[in-house]
A and B are shown apart, each in its own frame.
Chain A
């Protein structure tokens, strides 16, 4: 079984300066903020590895490939993917932002040329991303698509997919290949590999492939929320007095 997990190394938006938010363009230099995995992508990566583990445990062949579209994949992220258990990390050499059709085209072009299997991705890469890419990949590949996936279990050549839709769980059984978008899964973090295991992975590098992308789009505007904090000492004689003062300040008492 081939398992592909699409992911994106995002700028760590929490580290972006308020001034940069307020004059944000695609050309804004966010290198200082560093890059992290999106939370849904991180779940998808770990679910992919767990599937691989279970398939291998039951004696079936399984292989995991992490796939990204980025010129800026930090070495520590690819190292941690190899160390966590990915057999291959593929880096399509293009920077495409806020253009889901183009992203899906490039990712599905690669997937078309690879052996068929399960394709997983996070429901949405970053908070400003469209969340449309996984479905667009399924359309382009002509594969069944499952959204809001929480877990996937192997089941005699099929997969049991647990989805969380409209406040209820739906369990479907499907035969790969298919595309699944992982949402609010309880599996929220990619496993950490021990230093010994990281060292044993040696100097594995991502496989970089050329990708011809369309010109970037522009005209994006963001604004930072003012999160300054002030400390005030409450001149209260007791906890009860302090509680009343806080309630009054919050408009709780008239």
Chain B
């Protein structure tokens, strides 16, 4: 379908005010914060695909009619909400339609008896969290994108928050949801505490990255909000391996601090003012919940860390982290790295305890050899489980011209992906596959990759939804 006809048809469908093909608006709604795109924009280059238009449906019925129309006409749809994506996950397909749920921002219900809140996809997480906090509740979900992200995108990308060791990832928080399938059918998964009535259908949509439908409404669990009960402590620990062993010990002992972060010596020096003994890692702990439980958790963790020879650094490094942990959101597109002539970003992977340290070592050993212009590589573990943890790599490399930002960047990512896959880890811990990791998805899922293909085939047979995420595009 020709672009102008498409725009016209969508305007007739949901209203002229709800559709725009203004190039500046399209650019704004196509923005992704992956490191090389930030570099390119710093250099005045806008190389993201250009959509025909952006459409802002106001409710599920409008999403339904939009998708049904696009499906019938074979037009590509790129769903988005808050726009904090860092993995090319919400960049449109050339000539496609950006379906932006950010105007669906109704907070539908706070159910304090059954302990859940229901919100439309475009509700800002920061707003929701403030709203709940003022009433003594919390979602327990604090991703770094909190000032930008909206509910639909958080669920679609299988997001995780900084307090995940206590509250879990978004997959543990979603009670029920509503979504629109590409053919326009609106489906609803009801709110129940648990059930044994077949597979958990919520999980088809959690992490679906807009590839099989558009999430329009979500019910999230809520928890008591009692920050005054927090127990906080920071510790210096000799090596990353010893730190990982300590995390394993804490998790296997059954403690569930909300925050458990182990930063390597590079990050300790750069991000924490070199406060631990030279060459040490820094481990941050926050325990929360009822006062007695938070205190017992904190003291229990401290006791374990003593056994690892950890140096007690007090609570101040944690307090500092707590205040400044999301500052990066305010610096996006300030082109700080571009001005230094560098492309920089993070890349998160996960693996079991027996493999995670090996992956960390292998990446740190290989990257300086295979990336000539690399200036820094570091890592931290920020989300731990009884079976393993994640490593959040940070990297920066010098770039001579914008054309080279992407290849230099992807060469670094390639090393991280290869070393992770080699050891059976997962290539994406919480940013989703997006479009930049899709090439590794067949190896990520192995023999189960076909399930992704079959789900796509069943729910989006015309393959209009967010082409390029999760599944490789067939030539």
Contact = CB atoms under 8 A, between A and B. Distances in A.
A188 B127 CA distance: 36
Interface stretch (A134-142, A145-153, A194-202, A208-216): A194-202
A217 interface: no
A66 B136 CA distance: 53
Given A17-B319, A189-B339, A194-B398, A34 B274 contact: yes
A75 B367 CA distance: 23
A189 B340 contact: yes
A15 B320 contact: yes
Contact of B323 (A17, A191, A196): A17
A189 B127 CA distance: 36
Nearest to B373: A194
B273 A32 contact: yes
Interface in B357-402: 367-368, 372-377, 396-398
Interface residues of A, number: 28
A188 B336 CA distance: 11
B297 to A, nearest CB: 23
Interface in A3-56: 12, 14-15, 17, 31-35
A233 B127 contact: yes
Contact of B275 (A31, A199, A233): A31
Contacts of B275: 31-32, 34
A189 B397 CA distance: 15
Nearest to B279: A75
A193 interface: yes
A231 B125 CA distance: 10
B96 interface: no
Contacts, number: 81
Interface in A162-202: 188-189, 191-196, 198-199
Given A34-B273, A76-B270, A231-B124, A195 B320 contact: no
B372 A231 contact: no
Contact of B269 (A31, A32, A76, A230): A76
B274 A75 contact: yes
Nearest to A79: B269
Contacts of B157: none
B272 interface: yes
Interface in B311-336: 316-317, 319-320, 323-324
A116 interface: no
Nearest to B344: A192
A23 to B, nearest CB: 15
Contact of B17 (A195, A199, A238): A238
Contacts of A17: 316, 319-320, 323
Nearest to A29: B316
B278 interface: yes
B273 A76 contact: no
Contacts of B107: 233
Contacts of A191: 340-341
A230 B107 CA distance: 17
B273 A35 contact: yes
Contacts of B466: none
Contact of B130 (A32, A192, A193, A230): A230
Contacts of B316: 17, 32
Nearest to A234: B105
A193 B341 CA distance: 11
A118 B374 CA distance: 32
B272 A34 contact: yes
Contacts of B317: 32
A230 B127 CA distance: 8
Contacts of B396: 192
A199 to B, nearest CB: 7
B126 interface: yes
A118 B207 CA distance: 59
Contact of A188 (B339, B374, B376, B397): B339
Contacts of B453: none
A194 B376 CA distance: 7
Interface in B255-287: 269-275, 278
B372 A196 contact: yes
B342 interface: yes
A12 B270 CA distance: 11
Contacts of A195: 367-368, 374-377
Contacts of A14: 324
A242 to B, nearest CB: 10
A192 B397 CA distance: 9
A144 interface: no
A62 to B, nearest CB: 22
Nearest to A230: B130
A189 to B, nearest CB: 5
Contacts of B278: 75
Given A75-B278, A192-B375, A195-B374, A31 B130 contact: no
Given A189-B339, A192-B341, A34 B271 contact: yes
A107 B340 CA distance: 29
Interface in A106-148: none
A233 B372 contact: no
A212 B341 CA distance: 40
Contacts of A238: 17
A238 B367 CA distance: 49
Contact of B273 (A12, A193, A199): A12
A163 to B, nearest CB: 23
Given A32-B319, A192-B342, A230-B130, 9 more contacts: A15-B320, A17-B316, A17-B319, A32-B320, A34-B274, A75-B278, A196-B374, A231-B126, A239-B17
Which 10 A-B pairs have CB atoms at the shortest separation, nearest pair first? A34-B273, A32-B316, A192-B375, A231-B127, A195-B368, A195-B374, A76-B269, A231-B126, A74-B274, A189-B340
29 contacts: A15-B324, A17-B320, A32-B273, A32-B275, A32-B319, A32-B320, A33-B273, A33-B320, A34-B271, A34-B272, A35-B273, A74-B273, A74-B274, A76-B274, A191-B340, A192-B341, A192-B398, A194-B373, A194-B374, A195-B375, A196-B368, A198-B375, A231-B126, A231-B130, A232-B127, A233-B105, A233-B107, A233-B123, A233-B127
